[in-house]
């Protein structure tokens, strides 16, 4: 829009003002003072009435310009402009802080807001597994079907991603306490260090833009909560926000599996990726033709009571899940070990039914059975110290429990009846274990976009 067609000197003649109005085709003209300030607005109707009242075409436009006209600033919200137009106003000039003309909007020409810089955020929850562990390994369910039961809880990995105007890649991880800086994607993939999981994800995603990625988690690394899959899901959730054809939940889980298992080469099962992406209570069946995620419709009262009956505590012992899974794979060749896994599968079906029927005491006892069976899968799953913790918990109220994840350390989960919960908590704290409060998460991976202008400001160095 040519703004010079909408303004004229306040000393100009009416005939010159009419000529400009005819040229701009908007039915008005703005009068400008010598210092460039807009001082009035005259419509073709104002000029016509002035002429009918006896003025000549050589009169000054200032004689009929209205100094009290409606105007707005460049950043005026569209909502305000729309409300003005809804009051029979046809045109609104946009003025800067010096009252100089910067633009024109009208009922017929109200431009859409220009796209602004945005960033993506995502959070993904950790999972706690109840039964069926070991049967989600491909080398097991390629011969026999696998089944697990799990849920997600309110501990999350968080990711924030914004696109850069160049090809540089900057990754900052609070969990690792380190950063990765590279000039482009190939440079980021070549770097040595502790960013192997993120590099494997970048290989899967293959972004064609530079970016900044910020990561942090609510839980410690190597905790048995499926943390690597959770971080992967959060990162993939951010990248997914910048895709026109977004990945669905199954595709996100498969990408996370591809990065960790195939590209990074860490042994493990499938349930972690599906659990964190889908969220909530799920019963999962694994077969070579397809994996099926069955959401469980559990009564809300049962969920609340189970939440109050479970205690999550950190042993403070880290573990290498990949190493344990490798050992399990070797042990899986033994018929007696496969029988234990099959027993876990059968148990997971019973636990599913116990939850659906609200039989929580039976469910707690099944946790004990699941742990006893799981301990037989590998000598690395438990230890004398971990066994002592478990036995102490049983003697102070717990009816069942298990180490989460592959085992070897991380978090214990205990089921305790209501009137002995205080006793068990006191005992666990006396053993030096840290109890971690939580709530069940029903949402799984969440990802969203935000405008930088609304939520962010750059802080310069002093």
Tell me which residues are annotated as active site: 272
CA neighbor of 7 nearest in space, from 85, 104, 75, 96? 104
Spatial strand order of the sheet with 434-435 comes to 400-403, 411-415, 310-314, 434-435
Q: Is the distance from CB of 364 to CB of 400 less than 8 angstroms? A: yes
User: What is the distance between the alpha carbons of residues 96 and 41, in angstroms, rounded to a whole number?
Assistant: 16
Q: Which residues contact 271 (CB under 8 A, 6 or more apart)?
A: 127, 129, 132, 136, 148, 150, 226, 284
E strands, 36-100, in order: 38-43, 72-73, 91-95
Per residue, the 3-state secondary structure of 99-156, as one string, reads CCEEEEEECCECCCCCCCCEEEEEEEEEEEEEECCCCCCHHHHCCCCEEEEEEEEEEE
CA angle 232, 233, 238 (to 5 degrees): 100
Provide the sign of the torsion angle of the four alpha carbons 249, 252, 257, 262, taken in this order. positive
| Residue given tokens 């046809």 in the structure block | 90
Q: What is the rounded distance in angstroms from the CA atom of residue 364 to the CA atom of residue 358? A: 11
């Amino acid at each position: 829009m040519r703004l010079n067609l909408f303004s004229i000197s306040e000393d100009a003649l009416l005939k010159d003002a009419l000529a400009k109005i005819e040229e701009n085709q908007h039915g008005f003209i703005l009068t400008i003072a010598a210092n460039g300030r807009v001082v009035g607005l005259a419509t073709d109707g104002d000029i016509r009435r002035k002429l009918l009242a006896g003025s000549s075409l050589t009169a000054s436009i200032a004689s009929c310009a209205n100094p009290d006209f409606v105007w707005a600033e460049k950043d005026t919200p569209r909502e305000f402009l729309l409300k003005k137009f809804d009051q029979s106003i046809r045109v609104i000039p946009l003025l800067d802080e010096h009252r100089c003309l910067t633009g024109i909007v009208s009922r017929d020409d109200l431009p859409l807001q220009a796209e602004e810089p945005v960033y993506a955020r995502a959070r993904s929850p950790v999972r706690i597994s109840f039964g069926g562990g070991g049967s989600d390994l491909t080398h097991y369910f390629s011969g026999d079907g696998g089944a697990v039961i799990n849920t997600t809880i309110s501990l999350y990995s968080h990711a924030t991603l914004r696109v850069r105007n160049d090809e540089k890649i900057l990754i900052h991880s609070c969990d690792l306490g380190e950063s990765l800086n590279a000039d482009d994607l190939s440079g980021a993939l070549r770097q040595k260090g502790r960013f192997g999981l993120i590099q494997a994800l970048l290989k899967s995603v293959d972004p064609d833009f530079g970016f900044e990625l910020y990561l942090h988690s609510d839980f410690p690394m190597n905790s048995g909560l499926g943390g690597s899959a959770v971080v992967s899901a959060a990162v993939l959730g951010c990248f997914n926000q910048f895709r026109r054809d977004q990945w669905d939940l199954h595709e996100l889980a498969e990408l996370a599996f591809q990065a960790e298992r195939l590209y990074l080469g860490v042994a493990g099962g499938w349930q972690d990726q599906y659990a964190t992406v889908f969220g909530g209570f799920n019963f999962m069946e694994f077969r070579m033709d397809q994996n099926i995620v069955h959401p469980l419709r559990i009564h809300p009262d049962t969920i609340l009571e189970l939440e109050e009956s479970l205690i999550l505590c950190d042993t403070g012992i880290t573990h290498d899940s990949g190493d344990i899974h490798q050992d399990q794979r070797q042990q899986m060749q033994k018929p007696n070990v496969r029988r234990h896994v099959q027993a876990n599968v059968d148990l997971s079906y019973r636990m599913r039914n116990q939850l659906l029927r609200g039989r929580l005491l039976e469910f707690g006892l099944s946790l004990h059975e699941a742990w006893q069976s799981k301990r037989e899968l590998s000598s690395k799953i438990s230890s004398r110290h971990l066994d002592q913790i478990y036995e102490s918990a049983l003697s102070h109220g717990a009816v069942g429990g298990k180490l989460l994840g592959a085992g070897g350390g991380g978090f214990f989960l205990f089921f305790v009846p209501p009137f002995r919960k205080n006793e068990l908590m006191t005992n666990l704290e006396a053993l030096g274990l840290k109890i971690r409060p939580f709530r069940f998460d029903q949402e799984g991976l969440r990802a969203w976009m935000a405008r930088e202008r609304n939520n962010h400001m750059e802080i310069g160095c002093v």
